[in-house]
Structure 1
Amino acid sequence: HAENITPEFFDLKTKIAGEILQKFSNYRVRLSIVGDFTVYTSRSLKDFIHESNKGKLVNFVDSLEEALERLSS
């Protein structure tokens, strides 16, 4: 869940999200982050989430049910 992740993760200038999620992608490990991402106003973060959700490895989703669905497909 997003509330278990440091707020700096969602500030792309810190590069934390990019570095961590790149590791998941490199090792082909699936990850779903559950939360309400509408609270973030950064256009670059919204684009980052949108691009991540196009793939199958890293997804930002609204519910646990959606996370489980994405992880099992």
Structure 2
Amino acid sequence: MTRDPAVELVHGVTVYFYPADAPIVGSEGQASEVLATAFGHRAALVAMPVDRLDDMFFHLSTRIAGDILQKFVNHRVQLAILGDLDSHLRTSAALRDFVAESNRGTHVWFLRDRPALEARLAARPASGSATTSG
């Protein structure tokens, strides 16, 4: 059996790298589909390219971000959103605050790229691994 090339072990954490050409995620139902794939690969973390999220995700008043992120938190799967958020952050102080607060936590991270994700995972204490806690 061959492994899905989108699933890798990174510093002891099984990560599902959502494909750059996969469907846009903009609803709880679509987030559930991503989670189902992650569960199928026993991934503890989903790395999502920022451009795979519907633009309305970044308008916090729509509650799309909250609904999607809560889905991941409830299912104890971490989410790392990878990519350049600058255009979104320039237009919303609320989003800037939300991203900063999320990055202080352990469930949802907004990171520039894969090396930033790898560095974040490498810095985690072994007992706090995403493979053993949510």
TM-score, structure 1 as length reference: 0.87
d(CA) in 2 for partners of 1:6, 1:71: 26
Higher RCO (Cα < 8 Å, 6 or more apart): 1
1:17-64: CA deviation from partner (whole Å, max 9, x where unpaired): 011111212222111000111112200011111111011110000011
Unaligned runs of 5+ in 2: 1-48, 125-134
Q: Which amino acid aligns with 2:85?
A: F
Structure 2 SS opposite 1:31 = strand
1:64 aligns with 2:79: no
Total equivalences in the alignment: 73
Unaligned runs of 5+ in 1: none
1:22 aligns with 2:70: yes
d(CA) in 2 for partners of 1:16, 1:71: 27
- The CA RMSD over aligned residues, in Å, is 1.4
More helix, by proportion? 1
Mapping of residues 1-73 of structure 1, within 5 Å: 1-40=49-88, 41-71=91-121, 73=124
More strand, by proportion? 2
d(CA) in 2 for partners of 1:68, 1:24: 20
d(CA) in 2 for partners of 1:67, 1:34: 8
d(CA) in 1 for partners of 2:66, 2:81: 14
Q: Percent identity?
A: 44
- Which one has the largest radius of gyration? 2
